[in-house]
Amino acid sequence: MIPDGLVASFLCGLLVSAGLGWPLIALLRRVGARQTVSVDAPARHAGKQGTPTMGGLMILAGLAAPVLADVALRPERRSALSLLSMTMAFGLIGFVDDYLIATRGKNLGLRARSKFGMQVVAASGFVLYLSQTAVAGRTTVLGGVDLGVWYYVLAGLFIVGFSNAVNFSDGLDGLAGGMTVILALSVSLIVFAGAGFGWLPVFGGALAGACGGFLVYNRHPARVFMGDTGSLALGAALAGMALMGKAELLFQVGAVAVWAELFSVIVQVTVFKYRRRRYGLEAARARRVFRRTPLHHHFEELGWPETRIVALFCGVTAAASAVAVILSILSRS
C-alpha cells in the first residue's frame, strides 16, 4: 500500500524541479555560477570545469512547493514547516559557500570552521523544536532506551554528520541525487509502515520528486551540478525525516553507502596523519588506504567509468533500503 499523498507530492516535486531546469541553468550561466573543479579531484574531472552549479535551487523549489501546498490544505500539518525550514537553512549555507566559490573563481568558499558552525546552529534550532514538541516515551527513545537530553545531542550530530556525508557523495553525475531519491522514498515507507505519520510521506515524496526532476539535467553527462546548495540541504532533510519519523536506526541501514563516503575520508586522513608522523611524508603518501577519497574517487582511480560507479552506489543503497523497509514491516507484524 502506498502512503497517502506520496505519489502526488512526488509528481509535483518532479514537475516543479524539472520545469525550472532550463531557465535556471541559463540564469546560472549568465551570472557566472560555474563549477570550479578542485585540484584534489581525479584528472578526468577537468572536463567538468565551468559547468553551471547551484542547481540545488531547483531541488529546494521542487521540495517546497508540494510541502507548502499540503500545509495550506491541511493546517494541522504545519509541523512540516520545521523540517522544511531546517532544510532551507542548510541550503542557504550551501548557497553562500557556492556563491563565494563562483565569485572568487577558485575552490575557496566558506571557511570550514565557519561552515560547520552555521550547520550546528541550523541543526540546533531544529533539535530545539524537537525538544519543545517532545512526546513522552517516544521522542527521546532510541532502540528501546530513553536517552533523555543526550538524544538531542546525538540528533544534532546526526544531522550535521549526514549533511556532510551527502556533501561528500556529491562528486559524480547523478550520484547524490540518485541515492537521495531512494532514501527519501524508503524512509517514507518505513514511517508509513509504522504509523502513517501524516505529512512525512508527503515530504519524502516531494524530496524524491524534486531530486528526480534535477536528475533530468544532472545525469551523465551533467548539464548542471547541485552544489552545496543542494547536497547540504538533502542530507539535513533526510536526517530530519528519520528523526521525526522515529526511523533513526533503520535509516542507517539504508544509508550505508552514503556513510561509507564520509568515513572513507575520515579513515584516509587519520591513517595518513599517523603514518606521516610515524614514518614520514613520503611513506604516508606511498601507503594510502584508498587511492583517493571520497570513496567514489577510489573507484575512479581504479579505472571504473563514472556511470558504473553511480550504478553501484545507487544499487547498494536500493538493496540496503529494501532491507530496512522489510525489517520495519517485520518488526511490527
pLDDT tens-digit series, residues 183-225 = 999 999 998 655 446 799 999 999 999 999 999 999 999 999 9
d(CA 205, CA 213): 12
C-beta atoms surrounding 42 within 10 Å: 17
Does position 39 have pLDDT exceeding 90, yes or no? no
Q: What is the pLDDT of residue 196?
A: 45
Does position 251 have pLDDT exceeding 50, yes or no? yes
| DSSP label at residue 142 | E
Q: What are 66's three cell numbers?
A: 508540494
* Residue 40 burial (10 A CB sphere; 0-12, 13-18, 19+): exposed
The arithmetic mean of pLDDT across residues 277-296, rounded, is: 92
d(CA 223, CA 277): 43
Instruction: List the domain boundaries for the chain.
Output: 6-246
Q: What is the dihedral of CA 40, 46, 50, 52, to 10 degrees?
A: -70
Measured in residues, the chain has a length of: 333
Q: Which residues fall within 8 angstroms of residue 30, CB to CB, at 6 or more apart?
A: none
When mean pLDDT is compared across 21-35, 141-155, 238-252, 308-322, the lowest value belongs to: 21-35
Q: What is the pLDDT of residue 122?
A: 98
Closest CA to 37 of 51, 25, 54: 51
- As beta bridge partners, residue 142 has 145
Q: What is the mean pLDDT of the chain?
A: 92
When mean pLDDT is compared across 2-6, 217-221, 263-267, the lowest value belongs to: 2-6
Does position 77 have pLDDT exceeding 70, yes or no? yes
Name the pTM for this structure.
0.95
Peptide bond into 221 cis (omega under 30): yes
- pLDDT confidence band for 1 (50 / 70 / 90): low
Closest CA to 77 of 88, 86, 66, 89: 66
Gyration radius from the chain CA atoms: 20
d(CA 179, CA 27): 27
Q: What are 235's three cell numbers?
A: 542530507
Q: What is the pLDDT of residue 298?
A: 95
The H or E element that residue 205 is part of is helix 200-218
